[in-house]
Amino acid sequence: MDVTKPLRADAKRNREALIAAARQVFETGDEIRFDDFARRAGVGTGTLYRHFPTQDALVAAVYQEEVATLCQRAQELQATLPAVVALTRFLTEFVDYVGPRHRLARTLAALMARRADEFTEGSRALERAITELVAAGVAQGGIRSDVSAGSVMVALHGIGGAHDRPDWHTEAEGLITVLIDGLRAADSL
């Protein structure tokens, strides 16, 4: 049972400002001292350390928000579109979402390699969102029943990991098309 007290409005704003500043730093690739995150967020260093005692804790918070955003989008698509369309749109939007965040993704990947246990829940949440999209597609007859969300996750990791390629976005979109074609049930082609 989580007994964490909700944050006061000002504390919540400060926390959000710190996360936004960190996201911006990680996306631009700037290298700054940990204390400088406070200045960028417009808060004191005590506020920074109260919310995030280490840079790794701040990176983890950014990761949790990114995953929450992706999971929310998966739910929205699943609630409003036919299953195969929802899955296709999610995967395509994932490419668009990851594109400008490739530096953030690298920062997260490096941290995850050192401290994987702290990121397990986020990975599970994203896999659950994809599992629900795939399961809906199977239930509606548009996706093969022998496909796992894990396979889709592996494809997404590969797409993200190849970001340095010169024509990455076009190739990633092409791979999503190939992936969706391969996921389709034979009778839905």
Structure confidence by residue, pLDDT tens digits, 64-76: 888 899 999 999 9
Judged by DSSP in three states, 57 sits in helix
For domain 1-53, the CATH class is mainly alpha
- Confidence grade of residue 136 (pLDDT, cut at 50, 70, 90): very high
What does pLDDT average to over the chain?
A: 86
| Contact in structure between 32 and 25 (CB atoms under 8 Å) | yes
What pLDDT score was predicted for residue 169?
87
Model pLDDT, residue 130: 94
What's the pLDDT at 1? 42
- State residue 76's pLDDT score: 97
Residue 82 and residue 37 in contact, taking contact as beta carbons nearer than 8 Å: no
Question: What integer pLDDT is reported at residue 118 of this predicted model?
Answer: 66
- Write down the pTM of the prediction: 0.82
Closest CA to 94 of 68, 63, 109, 73: 73
Q: Left (φ > 0), alpha (ψ -120 to 50) or beta: where does 141 sit? A: left
More confident call, 16 vs 160: 16
% the chain with pLDDT above 90: 44
Q: Would you kindly state where each structural domain of the chain is located, as residue ranges?
A: 1-53, 55-188
The answer for 54, left when phi > 0, alpha when psi is -120 to 50, beta otherwise, is: beta
For residue 2, pLDDT beyond 60: no
Instruction: Say how far apart CA 6 and CA 114 lie, in whole Å.
Output: 30
pLDDT higher for 159 or 174? 174
Residue with more model confidence, 189 or 8: 8
Confidence of residue 63 (pLDDT cuts 50, 70, 90): confident
**Range of weakest confidence among 63-67, 98-102, 157-161:** 98-102
Estimate to the nearest angstrom the gap between the alpha carbon of 147 and the chain centroid. 21
Question: 104 versus 91: which is more confidently predicted?
Answer: 91
Q: How many CB atoms lie within 10 A of CB 20?
A: 14
CATH number of 55-188: 1.10.357.10
Q: What is the mean pLDDT of residues 66-93?
A: 94
Residue with tokens 């965040």: 101
Answer for the pair 41, 14: CB distance below 8 angstroms, yes or no.
yes
Structure tokens at 36: 């400088």
